[in-house]
Amino acid sequence: MTDKRADDKKEKPRIHEDLKGFNIHIDEFGQVKTTLSQEELNAFLNENVEDKKFSSKVRKQLENLYDEDEEEE
């Protein structure tokens, strides 16, 4: 009989096309090392992940605030 856990290890996780080659680890000094810069990672997350902290009402208020700021410039 095959072990279910062994089958799970063979299956590779699905990876978003923009994150192929992304690697993250913590070195012996406790510093986080990645293959993407923090700015690139944040840009990806902002585009692809919904921020659950904000309700739709708050999100609309923020969008209106930023739209008003851009119109003034």
pLDDT at 26: 95
- Per domain, the residue ranges of the chain are 4-72
Q: Is 40 exposed, middle or buried (0-12, 13-18, 19+ CB in 10 A)?
A: middle
- Percent over 90 (pLDDT), the chain: 18
Handedness of CA 29, 35, 36, 41 (dihedral sign): negative
pTM of the model: 0.50
In the block, which residue shows the tokens 């692809």?
48
| 45 vs 54, residue with greater confidence | 45
pLDDT at 53 over 60: yes
Report DSSP state, residue 54. Answer: S
